[in-house]
Structure 1
């Protein structure tokens, strides 16, 4: 429920902002009324030639730009307040048709259209009436001495209320108008606050819509991660079944050609060099394929893949084998945890100056926990391009959490927690 705070009656600060909010609202509502009447009439006339039909359809979305302007106009009451975010979602596919279909399905679109109609027919006359009663009427009374000086001896009737034909009466009328202005500032500010609360209620995002938007963002991130993982798998298969097999065949052909070449001749030497280079390229390609998605992870699970990464680390790594072996976990979980371990070990070898590292893994109470500990110099900062930021985003899609503790002087401890359940394969 939106609460209404009653402003203090004063001439500086909230009162001028309330007046500015209501006056601009009245002007905007009058403009919307005139423009809307013209467009509706024009659409009705053009329906007979079918041009008016799309114009009428476009009028159903006329509340969207007006609502965006109204959300920004709320800052007239509180300049320090950030503009309210839009309640509209981003279409999953680009293009005007997708955008139009999504907008027609959203409740926010119809609330904004209802607000547009209310502004044009009801709200702006109320705004103008409140400003006239709270500001214009006291202003006429305050100006009584000036009016009397202009009118002369005939006297005046301020706001058509009573006859004032002397300066003492004019002065008393001006004081009455000033007192009335100070008194009326309280309901004026209260109305402006209530008016803004009503606008915010209709046009600002609601909790359910924010939750839906957040859920949609989470689903979108999950789809991106799945697509990225599928693309990694495709590249790994193409390299394994295509380029690697061709390199193996090339290496075999070079080996056979060496056997046919004259012993000790220049041809044999060139073939030997080419054979060695092909072997090096094949080794690098196999390392690249293993880095994209190691076969040991797919075949034997996370424990075997982590042990394989530890064996290939440039820094000696101890495996914590006190707990039970890990069960097979969902494929995205195993892949994310494995690449976190690989990145952590790579950072240990490149930056930490550590002499030893330790990896501990455990799965209990539906949570996978992985910890990488090293005895290096510490001071690790994920913001300096260690690659952990991207992995943390990847873990967030799985509702996981990455924690890095690295005080200057060490030690550095990287912890990962991913909620998941074991599965049978």
Structure 2
């Protein structure tokens, strides 16, 4: 389903977030130089790391039954950890790829000497670092040899004509061209070397890139794979904690709203009905007046309960879907809103995604009506295969910020619970832009929205 509502209002800039831009991609020439530097230097880093790792591990395992063996094994993990830090730095600077550092197992500050020595041996990442010190020599040697060979063939073949005359010439010598049956003499040899140089030069970026990726990919797998897993675990734990906190705050707010609103009206309603019952015998003429007041209290209590239910699970969202619920928000807004809602029908949204998007729009439009002093606003909701993006833009006085409350802090926690993002740009004087991105997710069987 695609819903679009527009009116004359200046369009805000394209959706974007304040996340730092990724580093610019180097051009082909710079990429070749960076890959060559990475491949050539990798051997000189891997060789001493391999030697130190083998010596320390061999000595440590040989003396494992005595004190010195354990100390040597611990020292081996520390040396491997230093090599791993250096390799991650090379990945960031020469390969231009993210290389997060894992969180190593650390002893408590009050730990004794032996516990500090044994802790690295219990850390899985320590042994991954040691594995890299051993495996890195294999991939580093491969990258070094192939890079040297390809550069040598390219430069040597292209310049062979210039230094060919300085080579000793003998009737018994056979050049590569003569051995391949392509002709005799310096001209045939020079042409063959030129062709080989051109072919090597054309394939040089691809070959060097390939061996650099093999070396760097192996390093990233061993040295950064666990860090990425730890980052995902922290993000999931942070989202879970944020969801719990948002739920607890919502329950406390709901309890307070029920106590201050419908509960007071229902108490008043009970008192009015009791008074009407007493008046039936004393003054029957006043009973209709009392019942009219009780009827007003009942209607207002029902209205407040209905309003509170929208904060839990809006009936229209549950019954008719996100597009209809957003249309109702736009219609009920006191500030004119130009809406552009694009929700293709073939993209089924998980219920928690629809709820998160609805509350982003509801909270942002509520702030527009209550605090912004805006004359106009614009709502954009666009969905694709990966996420739903929301933008609420108004021409108000600005000054909104997550730290100031206004429901934005709770909204940020709600989005964190679904791995979403929230960005608020609201300079003093306006305009204000609230942007949100909610990963689309995949509805489980039987959970697909309407």
Q: If the length of structure 1 is used for normalisation, what is the TM-score?
A: 0.47
* Larger RCO, structure (CA 8 Å, separation 6 or more): 2
Greater Rg by CA: 1
